[in-house]
Amino acid sequence: MNISVADEDVRYVPAELEPTNRCAIMHNSRYRWLLGIVDVSGSSILDFGCGSGYGADYLAQRGARVLGLDISPMAIKYAKATFALPRFQVQDLTNCTLVSQISERFDVIVSFDVIEHVEKWWVFLDNVRGLLKKDGVAVIGCPNRIAHFDFNPFWNKFHVQEFTPVQLQWVCSKYFDRVEVLGQRFLDPKDRVRYTAQPMGPLWYMKEALLLTPLRTPVQKAIKLIRNGDSARPVKTRGGRKGDEKAEIVFDAIDMHDEASMRAPFGLVAVCRP
């Protein structure tokens, strides 16, 4: 097992993907966007579910004092070995005593692509609120449930749940007085088409059928052999090939009464203030 699938869950590692991969674009653009809405220099920042630590390091490189928390000892071990500036701790983000265990409170809390992996999202959000300063800002990012199957032909087995824009607004409003949900989308509609998931071909369905028979074990061994031991083959999408130009990403308001507006973003970010 490697850091990408630590503890039977999945975490983004920039070194493993091309910069034009949609997953890379989604994750990296959120931290870049964050610099435009908060002044991170000199701020205390909590990366709540830091994974491999790449985002915590990105913010620390820009003058923030950063603490990264993640439930995975493997992820934290990797983060500590790879990034020198932030501090990292192994913590269960849904531990009811977490707020009392962390002695400091933070100007900014970021949690990107974590809440969809967490069963007890209500404890997760309560902890975010408890660790935030009274004048702080929490930014919570996650996939857009409405657009999930536009980009992924199958449900992500690592996700406990996903939220629509309206649902994310509702759950965050239970813990924060002011919540604004923005959509993370491709500026150029052609880029959205380029990254739209392709239907799986006949060979894929044949393989899935064989995995339900007594031939499961030899088929699995053959697949691993073909992939040189890599069992985490990414879903093919249009675009994202090496050498492609990076797609431009924007974060903007969503009309909660318009289906097209709610479906346009592939990702959501909730900007929350007490």
Q: What is the pLDDT along the chain (274 residues), one digit of tens a residue?
A: 578 888 888 898 988 888 878 788 888 999 999 999 999 999 999 999 999 999 999 999 999 999 999 999 999 999 999 999 999 999 999 999 999 999 999 999 999 999 999 999 999 999 999 999 999 999 999 999 999 988 888 888 899 999 999 999 999 999 999 999 999 999 999 988 888 877 667 776 677 777 788 877 887 778 777 765 544 444 343 344 443 456 899 999 999 999 999 999 999 999 999 9
Per-residue model confidence (pLDDT) at position 228: 58
CB contact burial 31-54 (16+ within 10 A = b; e otherwise):
bebbeeebebeebbbbbbbbbbbb
Residue 250's nearest CA partner among 184, 193, 189 is: 184
Count how many domains the chain has.
2
Three-class SS state of 197: strand
Per-residue model confidence (pLDDT) at position 15: 83
For residues 107 and 211, membership in a common domain is answered with no
Per-residue model confidence (pLDDT) at position 16: 83
For residues 30 and 144, membership in a common domain is answered with yes
How far is the C-alpha of 231 from the C-alpha of 8, rounded, in Å? Answer: 13
Per-residue model confidence (pLDDT) at position 208: 72
Write out the residue range of the structural domain in which residue 44 sits. 3-195+242-273
How far is the C-alpha of 267 from the C-alpha of 184, rounded, in Å? Answer: 5
- C-alpha dihedral sign at 21, 47, 66, 272: positive
For residues 65 and 189, membership in a common domain is answered with yes
For residues 23 and 116, membership in a common domain is answered with yes
Residues 6+ apart with CB under 8 A from 268: 141, 142, 143, 144, 163, 165, 168, 181, 182, 183, 184, 254
Per-residue model confidence (pLDDT) at position 215: 78
Is residue 129 classed exposed, middle or buried when 0-12, 13-18 and 19+ CB atoms within 10 A define those classes? middle
Per-residue model confidence (pLDDT) at position 93: 97
How far is the C-alpha of 255 from the C-alpha of 42, rounded, in Å? Answer: 35
For residues 191 and 205, membership in a common domain is answered with no
CB 170 within 8 A of CB 266: no
CATH number of the domain bearing residue 46: 3.40.50.150
For residues 217 and 260, membership in a common domain is answered with no
Q: pTM for the whole thing?
A: 0.83
CB 263 within 8 A of CB 189: no
For residues 206 and 187, membership in a common domain is answered with no
